[in-house]
Structure 1
Amino acid sequence: MLPLRLSAAALPAAALLLAAASTAASAHTHDTKTHDASTHDTKAHTTVPDIAGGGFETPAVPAPSLFTTYLGGQAVGPWAGGGNSVDLTSDRLWDAAEGSQSLDLNGSTSGSVSQEISTHPLTSYVVSFELAGNPAWAPALKTGELRVDGVPVKTFSFDVTGHGFRNMGYTRQTAVFTNLLKSSVTLTFASTSPGLGGPVIDDVRVRSCLLVLCPPVS
């Protein structure tokens, strides 16, 4: 955180029918607001109801603290902390992508957060999130991974050069994975950067889609 640490291929017809039958209420559950599923193409997508705390709004960082550090093994709201530590950060320090809090994946050094979500068989899932980086500490290039059941499905990076606490420069990142038979999987966001400042994530969303109708992901 700051230099002065504060306390703290097409699917079989049967598979298509299975995936098309899945329905849910919202693309992302938030403590204070819910994203409207109508903002997505409902002919191509259905939504997953049980990603929780994707905006990192709970627990609240108590004023006047700028952030709260969670060690590996501690819960960060509905997320399970891993690695060394992470910092749940208030907009009193830097701007969130939405809401008033975001998550630095490095506390004292690289950490992670994980959450188990329910899945349907023979269905693909799109995970999206906002990405920036802690501008207070080197290195400038912050890196990390999105993993599904421990397997990386996307590597991501963000260069903080030219950015600051009120100009974080969040970019939307997406990844797709396909579930074959499991009833649930574990999503993990993990830093691969050393040091006190890592990649910053916010506004995590998950939605399901038919493989043949999934949007392209760069």
Structure 2
Amino acid sequence: MFPLRLSAVSLSAAALLLAAASTTASAHPHDTRRHDTRTHTTVPALVGGGFETPVVPASSPFSSYVGGQAVGPWSAGGHSVDLTSDRLWDAAEGSQSLDLNGSASGSVSQEISTLPLTSYVVSFELAGNPAWAPALKTGELRVDGVPVKTFAFDITGHGFRNMGWTRQTAVFTSLLKTSVTLTFASTSPGVGGPVIDDVRVRSCLLVLCPPVA
């Protein structure tokens, strides 16, 4: 995560927004839309963060998608990714999760709407494909192609029914843009990579957004 340097003008604008607005984040963890009380419009948030669609056919424990294909509301990139059913391993939420390595390193991306002078907290569950080396699975969360968080998961001691899911968080700030593209990308070689599930995004004003370790 890169440090953000704000001018006095930006901080002043943020303070005015704080005085004029109530929180833009939904109180319900599964809500996928946020209401902007400043303009009385609704800003779409990330959708399909649980990777429950499309449904993996019962004839197979996973479905592979190569770069350029749609994975529900996500777009696959890199080489390929595997949408994986809990018939193979336990999901963190629901019944499906996403291996960021299909036959090799892949990624998924989704464009979301953003508001000016607003920060966004991205959280997700992280594990790793326990069937393949290397033991340490690595990847990046990128915003418009720029890494905002690197992540890693060691599969040692874990298995299909003991995935060891951990919650990860990152913060990015939208100063002027009305939309950004979120990308989860593997930086691990080989067949099995980092596995993600239950991706969520919530908003907070610059002066109120909590720091993320």
Query: TM-score, normalised on structure 2?
Result: 0.85
Q: CA deviation at 1:66?
A: 0.1
Q: Is 2:123 the counterpart of 1:128?
A: yes
In the aligned structure 1, how far is the partner of 2:212 from the partner of 2:49? 20
Distance 2:87 2:192 in 1: 17
CA distance in 1, matches of 2:128, 2:166: 10
| Aligned counterparts, 1:150-169, within 5 A | 150-169=145-164
**Alignment partner, residue 144 of structure 2:** 149
Instruction: State the alpha-carbon separation in 2 of the partners of residues 36 and 84 from structure 1.
Output: 29
Partner of 1:73: 68
Aligned: 1:15 with 2:14: yes
* Offset at residue 17 of structure 1 (A): 4.1
Tell me the C-alpha RMSD between the 2 structures.
Answer: 2.2
Q: 1:43-82, aligned counterparts within 5 Å?
A: 49-82=44-77
Q: Distance in 2 between matches of 1:137 and 1:190?
A: 18
1:182 and 2:177 matched: yes
SS across alignment from 2:17: helix
- Whole-angstrom distance in 2 between the partners of 1:161 and 1:184: 38
State whether residues 123 and 168 of structure 2, in contact with CA within 8 Å, keep that contact through their aligned partners in structure 1: yes
Q: Bigger shift: 207-216 or 10-19?
A: 10-19
CA deviations over 1:78-117 (Å, ceiling 9, x no partner): 0010000000000000000000000000000100000000
Cα deviation, 1:133-189, whole Å, max 9, x if unaligned, reads: 000000000000000000000000000000000000000000001111000000000
Could you tell me which residue of structure 1 aligns to residue 103 of structure 2?
A: 108
The answer to whether 1:137 aligns with 2:132 is: yes
1:172 aligns with 2:167: yes
Amino acid at match of 2:161: R
Q: Is the CA contact 1:27–1:36 (under 8 Å) kept in the aligned structure 2?
A: no
* Contact 2:66–2:77 (CA under 8 A) maintained in structure 1: yes
Deviation at 1:48, TM superposition (A): 6.2
Using the alignment, how far apart are the partners of 2:88 and 2:133 within structure 1? 17
Specify every segment of 5 or more residues in structure 1 that has no aligned partner in the other structure, as ranges.
Answer: 1-8, 29-33, 38-46
Displacement of 1:36 after TM fit? Answer: 9.4
2:32–2:46: 8 Å Cα contact kept in structure 1?
no
Letter of the 1:12 partner, please give it. L
Between Structure 1 and Structure 2, how many residues are aligned?
196
The Cα shift of 1:23 comes to 3.3
| Percent of aligned pairs with the same amino acid | 81
Q: 1:36 to 1:103 in 2, by over 3 A?
A: closer
Q: How far apart are 1:55 and its partner, in Å?
A: 0.2
Aligned mates of 1:160, 1:59 — CA distance in 2: 27
Task: Check the 8 A contact 2:32/2:47 in 1, yes or no.
Answer: no
Shift of 1:13: 4.0
Query: What secondary structure, in the 3-state scheme, does the structure 1 residue paired with 2:207 have?
Result: helix
Is 1:194 the equivalent of 2:180? Answer: no
Q: CA deviation at 1:215?
A: 1.9
